[in-house]
Structure 1
Amino acid sequence: MNSRRDFLRQVGGSALTLSLATTTFPEQAHALPADGKQLGVALVGLGSYADRVATAMKDCKLAKLIGGVTGTPTKIDTWSTKFGLDKANFYSYQNFEQIKDNPAIDAVYITLPNSMHHEYVIRAAKMGKHVICEKPMSVTVKEAEEMIAACKKANVKLYIGYRLHFEPYTRELIRLRKSGELGKILHVNSYDGFKIGDPKQWRLKKALAGGGAMMDVGIYCINGARYATGEEPIWVSAEETKTDPVKFKEVDETITWQMGFPSGAIASCVTTYNFNNLERLYVIGEKGFVELSPAFGYGPIKGRTHQGAMSWDTTKMHQTWQMDGLADCILNGKPDPNMTGEEGLKDMKVIEAVYKSIAAGGKKVSVV
């Protein structure tokens, strides 16, 4: 592809060039099983993010959108027309369990508000369907553990919507860390936030969101620092700032925190609902660095290393890579790229530690 050739010209001759020239990302490796089976998916909660996923799935090869679940009957006409879906494959929250009798649906993707993830993951598992759940996987560690247990009991897969684990720039950052080309990781800056709009939206209601900026986009900072170091944080220290106590009466606005890792690496992180232009993952190693900025949004992701600019194909939507990648895991047994329920649980443990540190006045709190 042209973007890769351009990149190789920029850094020609280096060890990094050789490594990138032989790297195969998931979007290049997907193949239908011998029986031609595609993974049939129903989206649960037909809001704006579900629309994004459905749009992205138009370009999928292994995953196919079959239907959806909604509490708004008028959306059935809209969605069936827009995405060419059979109205018989749509359900309400009341008759959700009828999906178990639909052989065309292999998996459901939960795109509901955070506090509803727990209920619908468990209900889906009991139907014998594989489950993809948008992040954060839950609003408490206890709920996350119950979701994992329910899916294991039902012998179904549980994946969390960490789309970036299939995104090429992120994959390359992880490869550079794993290969040792960065040397020992010493420090990580991980920032993500934006100025939130409508003060009446569900993300600002604790009963639906579970928390504010931390639950919504701060989780990217946590996950990013974890895949940048390849380690799990053992302690956190955090503080919260509120400039608008009315708008953010129920949830957090801005949080700054540090995370310590077993190797001695430190991550400095910020998340906010109060201002824009905050999106960066900067990884410093003994031998070099990687910077992704923007790092976590829908793209295009941009990046550079100590050897020059990174350049990968950004024409596909992240959700296309994600849905084909997860279908590959389910249909072909491909290794999971750290998107299981256990991965989501690890982030929930850090989030709870962050909130505990804030409640303790910023004192260092162990992640357990």
Structure 2
Amino acid sequence: MNPRRDFLQKLAASAIAVPFLPLYGASLHSVPHNRSRQDRVLRVAIMGLGGYGTRVAEAMLACKRARLTGVISGTPSKIRDWQQKYGIPEENCYNYDTYDRIKDNPEIDAVYIITPNALHHDAALRVAAAGKHVICEKPLALNAWEGQEMVDACRKANVKLLVGYRMHFEANTLEIIKMRNEGEFGKILFFQGLSGFRIGNPDQWRLDKKLAGGGALMDIGIYSVNGARYMVGEDPVWVTAQETKTDPAKFGEGVDETIQFQLGFPGGAVASCLSTYNMNNLDRFFLNGEKGFAELQPATGYGPIKGRTHRGGLALPHVTHQTVQMDEMAGIILDDKQPVVAVDGEEAVKDLKIIDAIYQVCKTGGKLELEL
């Protein structure tokens, strides 16, 4: 039995009508109307109870403004385990056929989609149609076209679409962005992003083109794509790229092993980045300007993130990234808080446009102009 592939087949089939659950009465998770906006708690259902879903759930135990109140999974045993571990009531548990019923569940405000990439698009459309906010792991979708459909669907349903860009809330990263905005580095000239590791199990979904939409670039290289933008502080206007594949048996057609790509920015800065599934010890960002520099190494791992600049080391305290992310996203959804670096669907579509262009230019060669 493979729940992910079963799910994919079901998504490809025509939609089926399902009865709605009745409205629930007040519970321990209900928020009184007289509580202040800052006291409101975002009630979240996690879709996809795998390794990263578990990491998010554990991190949410320390959240002040976000609470795990529901689960969606194709594996009944996982649902039972999560019910026992996190105290989730039966009426807040759904499978992939029944989760449209969250429409009538006041105990769920948002659904965090943590499934293989190919499943993000249809799941987001269904969650939005149910009137719930969408939080989706990156990459948002398989390509920019799918991502834009997700943005449009959420806008039409008047719900927010946020993406799991946890580094946008990380303290050392934000300190470098603050220094750049204050002119500490002067004119930005160069960015380097190295993102990679040696991937293990050859049968995992990340090496399945239908589920992953690609290879290393979609999974780990996206950190350098996105990081180049928030470190330089601009969106790129051109891209060049080169692909290398040393193990075609493991990395089949459409599954990239290693890609080097270069980005050009309107202010004159250039970026040189590496994305790979075949080399370890690659998690480094370097930003260089006329007056100074900044480095993060590790730059995007689960932490602690370590950094230094021309002024010395950065030693801001480490807080579990997913805890900070979920509390900050609660503020964005409940209070319309504006983050320093955007984490919305439009931000993610820009990354997908760059990724689409990288894949295209790997095949065609040359330089491709970007319009984000």
Give TM-score scaled by structure 1 length: 0.89
Specify the SS of the correspondent of 1:271.
Answer: strand
For residues 264 and 240 of structure 1, the distance between their equivalents in structure 2, rounded to whole angstroms, comes to: 25
| 1:89 Cα offset (Å) | 0.9
- SS of the residue 1:329 aligns to: helix
Kindly indicate whether the alpha-carbon contact (under 8 Å) linking 2:117 and 2:211 is maintained by their aligned counterparts in 1.
yes
Greater than 6 Å deviation, 4+ residue runs: none
Q: Is the 8 A contact 1:33 1:332 kept in 2?
A: no
Residue 33 of structure 1 deviates from its aligned partner by 3.8
- Show the counterpart of 1:300: 304
The secondary structure found in structure 2 opposite 1:196 is coil
List per-residue Cα deviations over 1:31-78 (Å, max 9, x = no partner). x94473200000011111100000000000000000110000011111
Structure 1 position 309 matched with structure 2 position 313:
yes
Corresponding residue SS for 1:180: coil
Q: 1:363 Cα deviation (Å)? A: 1.1
Q: Is residue 2:321 matched to residue 1:318? A: yes
For the structure 1 residues 266 and 35, does the alpha-carbon distance in structure 2 shift closer, same or farther, using more than 3 Å as the test? closer
Structure 1 position 333 matched with structure 2 position 336: yes
The answer as to 2:292 corresponding to 1:284 is no
For 2:174, the equivalent position in structure 1 comes to 171
Q: Which moved more, 1:184-193 or 1:329-338?
A: 329-338
1:98 aligned partner = 101
CA contact (8 A) 1:33 1:331 kept: no
Partner of 1:346: 350
Query: Does the CA contact (< 8 Å) of 2:196 and 2:279 recur in 1?
Result: yes
User: What is the identity, as a one-letter code, of the residue corresponding to 1:96?
Assistant: Y
Contact 1:303–1:309, Cα closer than 8 Å, also in 2: yes
Query: Which residue does 2:10 correspond to in 1?
Result: none
Instruction: Give the corresponding residue for 1:269.
Output: 273
1:197 aligns with 2:212: no
2:313 partner amino acid: A
**Using the alignment, how far apart are the partners of 1:167 and 1:242 within structure 2?**
33
Name the structure 2 match of 1:139: 142
What is the aligned counterpart of 1:359 among 340, 359, 363? 363
Contact 2:294 2:309 in 1 (8 A): yes
Q: Name the CA distance, whole Å, in 1 between partners of 2:241 and 2:161.
A: 30
Q: Give 1:69's aligned residue.
A: 72
Amino acid at match of 1:313: P
Q: Secondary structure at the match of 1:262?
A: coil
- Are 2:209 and 1:209 equivalent residues in the alignment? no
Contact 1:233–1:367 (CA<8 Å) still a contact in 2?
yes
Q: Which AA in structure 1 matches 2:69?
A: I
Match of 1:51 among 42, 50, 54: 54
Contact in 1 for aligned 2:37/2:334 (Cα 8 Å): no
Per-residue Cα deviation, 1:311-367 (whole angstroms, up to 9, x for no partner): 0111x210000000000111122113310000000000100110111011x311112
2:230 aligned residue: 227
Percent of aligned pairs with the same amino acid: 55
**Offset of 1:87 from its aligned partner?**
2.6
> 2-side partners of 1:104 and 1:131: how far apart?
15
Assess if the C-alpha contact under 8 Å between 1:42 and 1:109 holds in 2: yes
User: Tell me, what secondary structure is at the counterpart of 1:244?
Assistant: coil
Question: Which residue number corresponds to residue 81 of structure 1?
Answer: 84
1:260 matched to 2:279: no
Match of 2:39, SS state, is: coil
The residue type paired with residue 275 of structure 1 is M
Q: Is the 8 A contact 1:115 1:207 kept in 2?
A: yes
Query: How far apart in 2 are the matches of 1:33 and 1:306?
Result: 43
Q: Which amino acid aligns with 2:59?
A: A
Alignment match, 2:40: 37
Task: Tell me the distance in 1 between the aligned counterparts of 2:149 and 2:37.
Answer: 35
- Structure 1 position 84, deviation (Å): 2.3
The total of aligned residue pairs comes to: 335
Q: 2:185 aligned with 1:182, yes or no? A: yes
The one-letter code of the counterpart of 1:259 is L
Q: What residue in structure 1 maps to residue 25 of structure 2?
A: none
What's the secondary structure of 1:344's corresponding residue? Answer: helix
| CA-atom RMSD in angstroms | 1.1
Q: What is the DSSP-based 3-state SS (H/G/I as helix, E as strand, rest coil) of the residue aligned with 1:349?
A: helix
Structure 1: gaps (5+ residues): 1-31
CA contact (8 A) 2:127 2:134 kept: yes
Could you tell me the TM-score, scaled by structure 2's length?
0.88
